[in-house]
Amino acid sequence: MTTKRKALGRGLSALLESAETDITSVEPKALHSIATIPISQIVANPFQPRAEFDDEALEELSESIKIHGIIQPITVRKIGYEKYEIISGERRTRASIIAGQNTIPAYIRLADDQQMLEMALIENIQREDLNAIEISVSYRRLLDECGLKQEELGERVGKKRSTVNNYLRLLKLPEEIQLSIKEGELMMGHARALINIEDPDTQMRIYKAAMQGNLSVRQVEQMVRDEKEVGTSTSKQKSTYFDFSDFIPQKNQIAKKLAADIRFKSKSNDKGSIIINFSSKEHLEEILGKID
């Protein structure tokens, strides 16, 4: 009876030290410290922002782990007795399993679901190999699911509000363009130029011209400026605006031959002009010599 009364008197500490009820600490693995834990006790992060992992890259990482081990510990949260959930490091965990590892070094902490999501998203954003769309989706989730404002989000990720806003605007682009960005076919510079046009059809036309003509960011920016100039014209001019996207390859050939930046300036009724830019008098003489 005495022993039982003593155990009951321990109250909360008795619960915390019980293998059945402990969700805050486990001996000898202390909370907020790095410990080596069995991979079998780890479950995936349900809030993982990244849905796809490159198989070849995982194989390469697993080979490195076989030789050097895990250099950077993963981060997990404790969700029960000898049970952990990944906050960051799912790729390292997957590669460790492929490498045949049974344990993995991990930093252990506590977190509720919202903290878990926020930490996972921010950690994901800080990766160097993310594409612009993955970053944009993570920003959107931080705003929508974590209730952050753009100013707070900028502070969390160390970016200016304008930078965050530019990423968010990418999600308004047509799906085909977003997929192209995601697959690395269209660079962020090109996309940043396209978001300055609101009409999806115009965005698609410039995008296709950029892809077909292998246009530089500067060339796409110029096309966007040309579109905006046309936007100040009358609606009649807009309806008869000459579409020069089919002539992009020829334009690039001329630009290469003359070693000069060339752009089309279109008007209504299939009229327009070819503008050849030069940087100096000598450059102009060189261009004219090639034309002769």
Q: Distance (Å, rounded) from C-alpha 48 to C-alpha 87?
A: 8
- Specify the pairing of strand 261-266 against strand 34-38: unpaired
- The DSSP secondary structure of the chain, one letter per residue, reads -HHHHHHHHTTHHHHHT-TTT--S--SSS-TTSEEEEEGGGEE--TT-S-----HHHHHHHHHHHHHH--SS-EEEEEEETTEEEEEE-HHHHHHHHHTT-SEEEEEEE---HHHHHHHHHHHHHT-TT--HHHHHHHHHHHHHHS---HHHHHHHHT--HHHHHHHHHHTTS-HHHHHHHHTTSS-HHHHHHHTT---HHHHHHHHHHHHHHT--HHHHHHHHHHHHHHHTS-HHHHHT----GGGHHHHHHHHHHHTSEEEEEE-STT-EEEEEE-SSHHHHHHHHHHH-
Rg (CA), the chain: 28
Whether 90 is catalytic: yes
β-pair partners for 104? 37
Q: Nearest-CA neighbor of 88 among 35, 134, 31, 127?
A: 127
The single residue of 90, 118, 134, 227 carrying the catalytic annotation is 90
Report the 10 Å Cβ neighbour count for 111: 18
> Is the CB of residue 53 less than 8 Å from the CB of residue 86?
no
Show which residues are catalytic. Answer: 90
